[in-house]
Chains A and B, each alone.
Chain A
Amino acid sequence: MDILYIAVNILVFLLLAPLFEGVIRKITARVQSRQGPPVIQPYYDLLKLLGKQNLSAGTVVFKFAPMLALASILGVIVFLPLGYQANYLTKYADVITIIYLLTLGGVSVLLGALSSRNTYAAIGSSREMITMIMVEPVLAMTFILGAVKVKSMGIAASISSVTAGGYGASVIVMMAAYLMALQAFVGRQPFDIAEAEVEILEGPFIEYSGPNYALFKYYLILKQMFYAALFVIVFIPPFKTGWYGADVLIQMAFVLVVFIGIALMGATHPRLRIDQAQKFYAVLIAASLAAVGLSVYGI
């Protein structure tokens, strides 16, 4: 049964992630008084990209980077206790693994970008790197907050125990920090700095096309769904119905709400500059550190 849950994890993410992306696009369109593309447009996009020819910028790294990125994000997803059920693999990893795997995804984007030797890709990857270094701590602190509470680095334990003691000050602060960092995690306005279309033309992905680009695109939309789902799993108290399927559905409903928030946020903000974003991230890191500090004292 535990092994089946892994399959559910993967399937739910693979199937629903493009749908949520479509939701974002539809909501953005509505905010802009447009018709917008159909909700299932991202599926079409992926299919179309997969059917196109690959144009390679040469090196082996360039070719394998998209696969590495997709593999690493799938690896993260596998460990996620979806529907409040730890699956067969969850106990073999701890929160450090998740952080490492997420970083691996980011690093493979950088590898792909740098191996293309494009000026815009270089700028994009330097911005991506800064973003990664500055917002990843918020994620780590979130896990550590739970780990401090249960004195364990296990995924299931630390994730489920963040809100276990009710919503203390530490949890509220952490939740706010996570929400603010969410736009940066998913790379949307005001923090889509690394891909900024009008200045550096999608930055790291400028040289990618066809199936390779499809893999990166899939990686990005899986990543944004992961961060949204993580928020739901960590900060929304469990509504356990006893039915696994129903639990997953309820969680997905919450994820949808988070996505609506992301879309609205993205549609009503201009992009920040990297130096302005850095200052913002610094505040977030400080806030999340403070939250962990508070939790040590049990607040």
Chain B
Amino acid sequence: MLTIEEVKTRLKNKYQSAVKKFEQPYGTRLYADIDKSKVREISNEIIGMGGRYLVSVGYDNIARDKTLGLIHAFSLDRDDIFVCLRTAAPVDNPTFDSITPDIPNAGWSEREYMDLLGMKFSGHPKPKRLILADDWPEGVYPLRKEVPWNLMPPPAENVAYQLDEAPEGCTTIPVGPFHPTLHEPAHFAVYVDGETIKGCDYRGFMVHRGLEKLCQTQLTYNEIPFVAERICGICGSVHATSYSQAVEMAAGFRISRRAEFIRTIMLEIERVHSHLLWLGVAGHLIGFDTIFMQAWRVREAIMWFGEKLTGNRKTYGMIVVGGVRRDISPELKDELLGILKTIEKELVTIHKAIVGDSSIHRRTKGVGRITTDETRLWSLVGPVARARGVDIDTRRDHPYAAYDEMRFDVPVVDSCDVWGTVVVRILETFEAIKIIRQALDTMPAGPTMTEFAEDIKPYQHAITAVEAPRGEVVHYLISGEENRPERWRVRAPTYPNLQGVPAMLLGDQFADLPIIIGSIDPCFSCTDRVVKVDIRSGRISNLTGGELETISRAKKLAGR
């Protein structure tokens, strides 16, 4: 076990002046300002301490000191510490050392900031466009403050993403942008030899909705939970909770204990229904529609409960900054207990019916294999990692909400294949039911909403992680002026997991592609959230309040 002080001493001793300053506003978060020439070394040092790469956050700091800021966030899972390495580069030469050669999972984050902030990463193995549309003009970096949020560059013809070269003797099969396996638009170019997959290239971010830019420029703290919730249709509460916790952390503010318990219950309700949903979808992907229908039938009870409690089947709108909107009454509590009992019973039946089914084993065992070491290398998260022997779970490692009081097991199997994810998810559902019961039993009385006493100080950094059904959600927030965040970075679990998919696909049959991609429970719109462009219509914009008013009065919009 490392303490935060030990981490500080180790960094200080080894890198001396390269580490300029430590900030440690709350017990478990360490922010270190470091010299940009040492980024790669210090990142490796943190990984060596048992750190796991989470996400990189780039932000525009031009107005204050003419730099572009970059933060690499790591989690020391055994020690309950988040380490954030903050560095900056002048805007006229924003070059950083790429950490991708050592930490492949950072590849997308770095590509993202090449696109959005115009940063350059020396030594990046694949410096291709990731997020922006193919016809987006060069040199316009949408996440910079000077670019309006509703900027709309003219569309261009005859520009297309250049896919990687197919390996010798392989045929390219396009999976996507629209394909029944994917449910959401994303493009996989799969290189196959016969039916064996030899490689794959990914071009996604087609439903990029520009949420981060929108929230940084237009919305206020209190409105963002509703947008955050719409990042993902399945794990909405997860994003809302994560965001709200980040704001509360930046404000140095604690919500009532009862609200924390209700948040815990909402998160676990979401886990129950999400895992049942996934089980159904997995059945559908291997052509077993009966599993699909039966799992969804069982799931339906909890959906109706969600409607009773929150007023809607999904997008509960329950979690806001400062607490939750509705309380769980004693009647609802009894009803929830009843529903959990039925679901548990039905799930046991389903579990028994499929656990020994050799025809399902044939399609899932030994499929999508990737070793434990590779899983660590790629920083995969959630059930995907736990099915491959990596014992991480944010609920246990970095407790939030009321999880510090809950007793539960984290199921980990080491079969390293798709079947492992099936088992992990089913077991996790039982654990989730257990947690809801405990939370209902021990929930203290109290208010559900706590009101803010004072303003949130600008430029406070906060990082929170929440265990979504699919894996770990990370929100990084820098508070800002004008009652809205200066920078809000969302990393959904699919973001790292999708980067590991090519490794899982390698050497498998094309027929297994749906279930392998399905096994990470991909959520492309979660992944595609970030900045600002609605690619389909090519619309973008950003106006200050004053300009906006003038323009609206003139009844003319920029770029129209």
Q: Please list the residues of chain A having a beta carbon within 8 angstroms of any beta carbon in chain B.
A: 28, 31-34, 119-120, 123, 189-190, 192-193, 196-199, 201, 267-276
Contacts and interface: CB of A to CB of B under 8 A. Distances in A.
B161 interface: no
A275 B363 contact: no
Contact of A272 (B283, B285, B294, B362): B362
Given A119-B173, A123-B510, A276-B362, A270 B180 contact: no
B218 interface: no
Interface string B282-313: 01111111111110010000000000000000
Contact of B293 (A33, A189, A198, A271): A33
Given A123-B173, A197-B180, A198-B514, A270 B294 contact: no
Nearest to A202: B180
B246 interface: no
B507 to A, nearest CB: 13
A199 B511 contact: yes
The A interface, classified by DSSP as helix, strand, loop or mixed, is: loop
Contacts of A269: 287-288, 359
A196 B287 CA distance: 8
A192 B513 CA distance: 16
B359 A198 contact: no
A275 B360 CA distance: 15
The B interface, classified by DSSP as helix, strand, loop or mixed, is: helix
B511 A273 contact: yes
A120 to B, nearest CB: 8
Q: How large is the interface on B (under 10, 10 to 19, 20 to 34, 35 or more residues)?
A: 20 to 34
B513 A199 contact: yes
Interface in B515-560: none
Contacts of A34: 293
Nearest to B284: A198
B181 A267 contact: no
Contacts of B179: 201
Contacts, number: 75
Interface in B352-368: 359-360, 362-363
Contacts of B195: 123, 274-275
Interface of B: 171, 173-174, 179-181, 195, 283-294, 297, 359-360, 362-363, 509-514
A267 B180 contact: no
A32 B284 CA distance: 12
Contacts of A190: 287, 359
A33 B359 contact: no
27 contacts: A28-B289, A31-B290, A32-B290, A32-B293, A34-B293, A119-B171, A119-B174, A120-B173, A189-B288, A192-B287, A196-B287, A196-B511, A198-B181, A199-B181, A199-B510, A199-B514, A201-B179, A268-B290, A270-B359, A270-B362, A271-B286, A271-B287, A271-B511, A273-B511, A274-B195, A275-B195, A275-B509
A103 B288 CA distance: 29
A273 B512 contact: yes
Contacts of B293: 32-34
A269 B511 CA distance: 16
A211 to B, nearest CB: 24
A201 B180 contact: yes
A198 B363 contact: no
B360 A270 contact: yes
A189 to B, nearest CB: 6
Contacts of B171: 119
Nearest to B292: A32
Contacts of B174: 119
Nearest to B281: A198
